Amino acid sequence: MDYKITNAYCKRVWDEISTRYADQGHFLQAAGLVLETIQPVVAKMPELEKNAVLERLVEPERIIMFRVPWTDDKGKPHVNRGFRVQFNSAIGPYKGGLRFSPEVGLDVLKFLGFEQVLKNSLTTLPMGGGKGGSDFDAHGKSDAEVMRFCQSFITELYRHIGADTDVPAGDKGVGGREVAYMFGQYKRITNQYTGVLTGKGLTFGGSLARTEATGYGLVYFVQRMLEMKGQTLEGKTAIISGDGNVAQYAAEKLIQLGAKPLTLSDSTGYIYDEEGIDQKKLNFVKKFRAAHKKIDEYVKKYPKAKFYKGQKPWGVKADLALPCATQDEIYLEDAKKLVANKIALVAEGANMPTRAEAIEFFQKNGVIFAPGKASNAGGVAVSGLEMSQNSERLSWSFEEVDNKLKDIMINIHDNCYDTAKKYATEGDYVAGANIAGFVKVATAMVAQGLV
């Protein structure tokens, strides 16, 4: 996509990275959208160019790459690649998830880490941005194999992380099981019991509401978006992609607030329940999902619903669309379907699930669009709250954490909305989120000097 970058400084940096990283399409989309939208504030801050802030912003402070050797249950050795991209620590220790999935490589992790810098800035919590993971695929692996892999992975990574240095969390392919294995190995190697990983179990330093946080936070953000239009979630219909934690708990909070989820999906296709997915049906989804079964289990239990093999749910008519699966879910042709069906609002629960040309199409056609760095920040926000609880040796109640989460999401929304009104177009959440997140990080970078 051709980005409308006319500011001389932004254009120079864009030309440099688009040539240098021509093979990193995901990273370039993330960086291009940011450079395009922050131009109004860059033009008003000449100190940025004097201090090479943009050049530093688009380059990670450190990239760690390593091999991860492990043996399967038959004693056969395997070797995967491990990564940690420590992108920016201007406002706090690096913070961001670990992803175990075959698509993991520098392109994906750099885009995720870059987005994480601005996302963490928006939470107002003192967290820098980073991301990491491995091309390991846990599907079909035994618990013992996953444990050996996680122990090998953290045996190398442990020397680069710490409670005040870099605090990883879970992400795609890394849930409570994997975090627990890594935390146990970290503790064993270092002889320290610290909050070095978040997303831990409740019995050893985890936070209540962390599992629900991204999905709940997404809906709190959507609720606030609708309030700005004088509307509520009551009676609204929603199409959701994904069937993992984010999708499940987004659906749960929609149900609690009077909305009706219609779809869920996985890599095999999507289910459409015209009657709506209620809490009883959602509990069934949680049960079969925990057993690693596919989404078509739903129609076996509820035959009035339909399963569409190999398809995405974006052709279903609804009021709201919440992409909650992974990156690159909504392309231009999907956006055209959604607009034709008069979708009112799209909010990202996953990281960059919407392609740049689809975002542009939504905005040109009056669809309110929320980027993931703002709308899905609830997960990392509660990870930050877990860090606080670990540091203070405290444990807050579910209600305390949930209330703090809601306040953070409302504050993120209002910051994005007000910033867009000041620098760009009122209601442009993409520009608002990028500028608001950027200004805090850039100001801190200037203050700290050329480091």
For residues 179 and 150, is the Cβ–Cβ distance under 8 A? no
From 41, 54, 49, select the one nearest 15 (Cα to Cα): 54
For residues 353 and 372, is the Cβ–Cβ distance under 8 A? yes
From 179, 88, 174, select the one nearest 127 (Cα to Cα): 88
Q: pLDDT grade, residue 38 (50/70/90)?
A: very high
For residues 94 and 128, is the Cβ–Cβ distance under 8 A? yes
Query: Three-class SS string for 278-297?
Result: CHHHHHHHHHHHHCCCCCCH
Which residues on adjacent β-strands are paired with residue 98? Answer: 132, 170
Q: Summarize pLDDT for 301-310 with one digit per residue, the tens.
A: 999 999 999 9
Strands 263-266 and 269-272: antiparallel
For residues 57 and 88, is the Cβ–Cβ distance under 8 A? yes
For residues 344 and 368, is the Cβ–Cβ distance under 8 A? yes
pLDDT confidence of residue 292: 85
Q: pLDDT grade, residue 20 (50/70/90)?
A: very high
Q: pLDDT grade, residue 214 (50/70/90)?
A: very high
Q: What is the helix (H) or strand (E) element at residue 226, kind and residue range?
A: helix 210-227
From 194, 189, 156, 149, select the one nearest 173 (Cα to Cα): 149
In what order do the strands lie in the sheet containing 263-266? 263-266, 269-272, 306-309
Which residues on adjacent β-strands are paired with residue 269? Answer: 266, 309
d(CA 221, CA 407): 10
DSSP 8-class letter at 329: -
d(CA 66, CA 371): 32
Q: Summarize pLDDT for 270-312 with one digit per residue, the tens.
A: 999 999 999 999 999 999 998 989 999 999 999 999 999 999 9
From 325, 335, 182, select the one nearest 246 (Cα to Cα): 325
pLDDT confidence of residue 440: 97
Percentage of the chain lying above the pLDDT 90 cut: 96
pLDDT confidence of residue 451: 87
| Known catalytic residue at 131 | yes
Q: Is the pLDDT of residue 1 over 80?
A: no
Segment 26-48 shows an average pLDDT of 96
Q: What are phi and psi of 139, to 5 degrees?
A: -60, 130
Q: Summarize pLDDT for 114-152 with one digit per residue, the tens.
A: 999 999 999 999 999 999 999 999 989 999 999 999 999
For residues 281 and 302, is the Cβ–Cβ distance under 8 A? yes
Q: Summarize pLDDT for 357-394 with one digit per residue, the tens.
A: 999 999 999 999 999 999 999 999 999 999 999 999 99
Residue 106: which residues within 8 A CB-CB, separation 6 or more?
A: 24, 63, 83, 85
From 438, 305, 315, select the one nearest 34 (Cα to Cα): 438
Strands 62-71 and 77-88: antiparallel
Segment 75-80 shows an average pLDDT of 98
The residue annotated as part of the active site, out of 110, 119, 131, 312, is 131
